[in-house]
Chain A
Amino acid sequence: MRNYSAVGLIFANMYDESFRDGTAVRSMGSLPFGGRYRLIDFPLSAMVNAGITKVGVITKSNYQSLMDHIGSGKAWDLSRKNEGLYFLPPRSSDDAMYQGRIGSLMDVVPFLNHSKEDLVVLSDCHMVTSMDFDAMIKSHVESGADVTIACRHGVVPKLPDIPVLTMDASCHVTDLLLGRIADQKAYYGTGVYVMRKDWLLRILTEAAARNLYHFERDILQRRREELKIRGYVVPSLVMPIYSTESYFNANLALLEDEVRSQLFPKNRPVYTKLKDCDPVQYGLHAEVTNSLVGDGAHIDGKVKNSIIFRGVQIARNVELENCVVMQNVSVGDHCKLVNIIADKNVVIRNGVTLQGSESYPVYIAKNSII
């Protein structure tokens, strides 16, 4: 038994615009990742693994694929008689009411009012991590802070208004900038916040009264001195997705043993929607090395350093290197693909050669036929 109770809120659309190739047809939360997952699987599973049994998914637009993926929440054990998963699309079409993180949160005040939990955990979907939420929540409770911001040290990702923190020895935030300054290394926020629910509700009411909507700027930055803001340095791997290149690299990073062991810790599984695919079939001519392969793939060609999602078909005499190939893509005979991201259901007919560069992979949009 845990000595706290928390409700989770996941922002499925936050930072959609930073990776337009991938989010043109879907939300950030439903972006496919790592051979069988969608980005939302990571925060959702992490919350469930921390014993959170009530999670609201806040969406704004483009959320059909997200709803299809999450369904009743069964795959995360969140299809419950009491509590479980709540889908929270916008309540009104009035855009003014839906600006920024505060706007989204204003929309879910009734959900929060109906929650009996004392704490709220907010998470975005654009930072891939299997961090231990339980450890972060405990650290927040012990510190007595108003709000705890999860952060990592490193080169600050190119995201608009990303919080960049300066902390003292006890992790108290002494300065908070928004947005990166050149390529310097610093502590940056990973889009996860823990706070008391009554505190959040009070802040929301005040912000609404003052017509403020930017959580990071109008609350955290502007009121930094009067609030007790703490940083929590996430001890495990965090991979930010903010561009085609970062998406490509984060996928290929899964080919490293250390990355896989950090992202798929044995005691904190990452859950996802089950597909009932058959096992992967490797043909007589298959030559697959240093690759991650999702179930239901049928491979008879050469695959190297690639991420192959569920249900992908790769014919004989194909050469694939450094590719991210999403669900149900089919690659015909005698194709050669290097540094390619192929979105869902792409069909590449026989004899096609396509090459991107490592720092600028070619993105083939969903349902394209080449």
Chain B
Amino acid sequence: MFRKQECVAMLLAGGQGSRLYALTRKIAKPAVPYGGKYRIIDFPLSNCVNSGIETVGVLTQYQPLELNDYIGSGQPWDLDRMDAGVHVLPPYQRNQGADWYKGTANAIYQNIDFIQRYNPEYVLVLSGDHIYKMDYSDMLAYHKEKGADCTIAVLDVPKEEASRFGILNTNPDGSIYEFDEKPAVPKSTLASMGIYIFTWEKLRKYLIADEEDSTSQNDFGKNVLPTMLNSGERMFAYRFEGYWKDVGTIDSLWEANMDLLDPNVPLDLSDPSWKIYSRNPGMPPQYLSATSQVQNSSITEGCVIHGKVESSVIFAGVTVEEGAEIVQSILMPGAVVRKGAKVQYAILAEDVEVCEGAVVGEAPEEIDDLSRWGVAVVASGIKVGAGGKVLAKGMIEADVKDGEEVSAHA
């Protein structure tokens, strides 16, 4: 017998995140490292715990190994509970056959039994693609106050960017009358954040109907939400104010990391009242040597820095040797930058080695044709040989030989 839960969270973590290219070849997007000691999934998981939601289903499908290990028992997020807590929910075989998760709605549909055992009033649907701190209990209070069947969190975006988002057009009372997916001429600037609260009774009914519709793609945005709206259900937009960033592309992931170094960006990870929890490797404190020069950077445990680090985010266990220079870059766990090497405007994935004198990435001011500029990425475990050069926008997935100059190396 499971204790009743008022609200169960379902976290969609099966996406490939194909626009992160080399960074998600072997891991699912929610497992991508972010911010020095976190992974993207730490944000929705920590938000759940901090909001008082104790039951979280994590729907996995693409490359789940690392994500499964990372979530484990859920202890780092205090989600190892008697019968609530975090549950990893991969697709499974039933007696009438087996399916992958066909779409976001189908993923929830296939886990109706999981949700039902907690007999919840509400279900919170989240994605593992965004960096933000949000109190879901405020959103739930709003959902109840409006007597809504579905509440969608929205962010007021600048007008010129609105056509990149799914826009919600609302009445003055906050109720939604129209969905506008990436509109050429947006009527409003309220962008969906991919965070939904449903009254479970209603959602369940629509999920079953959606599954029976063979023409449906079983997707929330494309199918279930429009169907609910057309059927006259009460749907409301909940305005969120604060930092929110989709980290679905290389550029946005890089920017979101750089945002942490900007005191004007309202994302404070040191706030004791809203901690972001993560699974921690437990390494010794970082050591900055007598030759180190570190400014405007975020560095975590296990690092040994002898060189220069400027405006960069350095993950656990990174080594920067003497005379090496790191500028505006993200170095994921275990990366090593040897003597005299330079890493600028780049993302080095886990355990990358940049050998002596190599250069990864280019500064925009060094490039005449700015359309050629972009963040360079080196995939996990790759070695950039001595004196090697990785150009701007480089996407490196095989070792770079000594002295070689490359932009893409798949």
Contact = CB atoms under 8 A, between A and B. Distances in A.
B296 A282 contact: yes
Contact of A289 (B75, B286, B290): B290
Contacts of A160: none
A308 B286 CA distance: 10
B295 interface: yes
A282 B294 contact: yes
A282 B282 contact: no
19 contacts: A255-B287, A264-B284, A274-B282, A276-B76, A276-B278, A279-B35, A279-B37, A279-B298, A281-B261, A281-B297, A283-B295, A284-B295, A287-B293, A288-B288, A292-B286, A292-B287, A293-B286, A295-B285, A298-B270
Contacts of B314: 279
Nearest to A280: B299
Interface in B281-316: 282-301, 313-314
Contacts of A255: 287
B200 interface: no
A302 B285 CA distance: 18
Interface string B43-67: 0000000000000000000000000
Interface of A: 34-36, 74-75, 255, 260, 263-264, 269-272, 274, 276-296, 298, 308
Nearest to A34: B285
B36 A278 contact: yes
B280 interface: yes
B277 interface: yes
Which of B269, B275, B285, B293 counts the most A-chain CB atoms under 10 A from its CB? B285
Contacts of A285: 295
A280 B286 CA distance: 9
Interface residues of B, number: 35
Given A278-B36, A279-B35, A280-B298, A293 B282 contact: no
Given A276-B278, A280-B298, A293-B287, 13 more contacts: A36-B284, A260-B284, A274-B280, A278-B36, A279-B300, A279-B314, A286-B294, A289-B290, A290-B289, A291-B287, A292-B285, A292-B286, A294-B301
A279 B75 contact: no
A288 B292 contact: yes
Interface of B: 35-37, 75-76, 261, 269-270, 275-278, 280, 282-301, 313-314
Contacts of B269: 278-279
Contact of B288 (A289, A295, A298): A289
A298 B299 CA distance: 11
B330 to A, nearest CB: 12
A310 B161 CA distance: 40
Contacts of B284: 34-36, 260, 263-264, 270, 292
Given A276-B275, A276-B278, A260 B299 contact: no
Given A271-B282, A284-B295, A286-B294, A276 B287 contact: no
Contacts of B276: 276, 278
B296 A284 contact: yes
A274 B277 CA distance: 10
B285 A294 contact: yes
A263 B299 CA distance: 22
Contact of A282 (B75, B270, B299): B299
Contacts of B290: 289-290
A260 B287 contact: yes
A198 B118 CA distance: 52
A286 B270 contact: no
A152 to B, nearest CB: 22
A295 B287 contact: no
Nearest to B300: A279
Contacts of B75: 74
Nearest to B316: A279
B145 to A, nearest CB: 33
Contact of B298 (A264, A272, A281): A281
A138 to B, nearest CB: 27
Nearest to A310: B285
Contacts of B270: 277-278, 281, 296, 298
Contacts of B280: 274, 276
A158 B235 CA distance: 74
B82 to A, nearest CB: 15
